[in-house]
Amino acid sequence: MKFRLILMLLAVLCLLGGCAAPDGATTDEGYDDLIVVGFSQVGAESDWRNANTRSMQQALSAENGFRLIIDDAQQKKERQITAIRNFIHQGVDYIVLAPTTEDGWETVLGEAKAAGIPVIIIDRMIDRSLATGEPGDDLFTCWIGSDFTRQGNAAVAWLEGRFGSTPVRIVHLQGNYGSSAQVGRSASLDEGLRRNPQWTLVARDSGDFTQAKGQELVEAYLAQGIGFDVIFAENDNMAYGAIDALKNAGLTPGKDVTIVSFDANRKALEMVAAGEIGFDVECNPLHGPRVKAVIEQLERGEAPLKYTYVEESAFDSQGLSRELIDSRGY
């Protein structure tokens, strides 16, 4: 790979000139034998995202034969595009992208393809037309992530079972607009609203997947005198913020307001067990071992699956054991 060749040339120059290898590593440490991966991460907006980053760091470690370069995009697509171009310039062996939104990747991924660098997409999806045989096809090697529409459908089905034909007023806390998680989960709720005319959507805004914004929105709805029975939060952190807002207003989560959420972090499952969150749909962030396995396949000259959906579950207080909560890896 180009990056290894560059490092080998640097090593030769270092031997001639007595300098140190990059990042303080010496040529004796086998630095140039590592597989170099550039990872453009969305940001650190949630517990899920932090667990996702840790999983990548643990799987793609030097001990496992990798050098992982992480760029935090702070939820800005333009920063991700810049990061990918920097990875291309550095000549990394692989690029991993957790995209902010689904669209707008054609040009920069075309540049990665021209440079001969495989791109692995994780978590959120990008436009599938980039791999369907159209001009500029196969701009990414494979994708690993969740079926966000299926997740949303599970939450809506639980609400239907919980409330039946009872009229329900719903507050909808959406994630980042245009992200796959937001698109899929919102589409499921929209279908549930069409299917259940007794449901009323009383408020809908983006909480950016953050706890602070989730709390801010629910506090604003309460201050405006908006009445609601259900909060449909598109991730756990927004649900945490909503719960804080309800408690500050003297309301009891799970009793006065039913909350459904997504991610099923350990903290959220504690809230499910306590009855504060009614239903939580799992979104597994531990993609590091899967990415490692894909890269190892590619290194052997094998073709990985184009799309890999992670197996996930969902939880309410019934059947949620202490053992399951304690065994949670995130």
**Residue 193 and residue 190: Cα distance in Å, rounded?**
5
Q: How confident is the model at residue 88 (pLDDT cuts 50, 70, 90)?
A: very high
- pLDDT value at 11 more than 50: no
Look up the CATH number of domain 34-145+286-299. 3.40.50.2300
Domains 34-145+286-299 and 148-283+316-326 share a fold: yes
Dump pLDDT digits (tens) for 240-254.
999 999 999 999 999
User: Comparing 62-71, 118-127, 155-164, 226-235, which segment has the lowest mean pLDDT?
Assistant: 118-127
- pLDDT value at 77 more than 90: yes
**Residue 324 and residue 302: Cα distance in Å, rounded?**
36
In this prediction, residues 135-163 reach a mean pLDDT of: 91
In this prediction, residues 282-300 reach a mean pLDDT of: 97
In this prediction, residues 67-88 reach a mean pLDDT of: 97
**Residue 233 and residue 172: Cα distance in Å, rounded?**
6
In this prediction, residues 199-209 reach a mean pLDDT of: 97
pLDDT given at position 319: 79
- pLDDT value at 54 more than 60: yes
In this prediction, residues 298-302 reach a mean pLDDT of: 97
CB-CB contact of 91 with 6 (8 Å) = yes
* Three-state secondary-structure class, residue 102: coil
In this prediction, residues 111-126 reach a mean pLDDT of: 95
pLDDT given at position 21: 33
- pLDDT value at 27 more than 80: no
pLDDT given at position 131: 61
Structure tokens at 259: 């909350």
**Nearest-10 Cα torsion for 286, 104, 141, 110:** -140
Q: How confident is the model at residue 22 (pLDDT cuts 50, 70, 90)?
A: very low
Size of the chain, expressed as the number of residues it contains: 330
In this prediction, residues 295-321 reach a mean pLDDT of: 94
Please state, rounded to an integer, the average pLDDT across all residues of the chain.
90
- pLDDT value at 137 more than 90: no
Cα angle for residues 68, 72, 73 (degrees, 5° grid): 135
- What percentage of the chain carries pLDDT values higher than 70? 88
Cβ neighbourhood burial of 50 (10 Å; 0-12, 13-18, 19+): middle
Domain coordinates in residue numbering, the chain: 34-145+286-299, 148-283+316-326
Q: How confident is the model at residue 329 (pLDDT cuts 50, 70, 90)?
A: confident
**Residue 293 and residue 304: Cα distance in Å, rounded?**
9
- pLDDT value at 19 more than 70: no
Whose structure tokens read 């983006």? 206
CB-CB contact of 232 with 201 (8 Å) = no
Residues near 241 by beta carbon (within 8 Å), at least 6 away in sequence? 207, 210, 211, 212, 213, 214, 215, 216, 217, 218
- pLDDT value at 7 more than 50: no
pLDDT given at position 24: 31
Handedness of CA 17, 22, 28, 34 (dihedral sign): negative
- pLDDT value at 1 more than 80: no
pLDDT given at position 132: 55
- pLDDT value at 288 more than 80: yes
pLDDT given at position 115: 97
- pLDDT value at 30 more than 70: no
Q: How confident is the model at residue 233 (pLDDT cuts 50, 70, 90)?
A: very high
Q: How confident is the model at residue 135 (pLDDT cuts 50, 70, 90)?
A: very low
pLDDT given at position 52: 97
**Which of the following CATH numbers is that of domain 148-283+316-326: 3.40.50.2300, 1.20.1630.10, 3.40.50.300, 2.70.170.10?**
3.40.50.2300
- What percentage of the chain carries pLDDT values higher than 90? 82
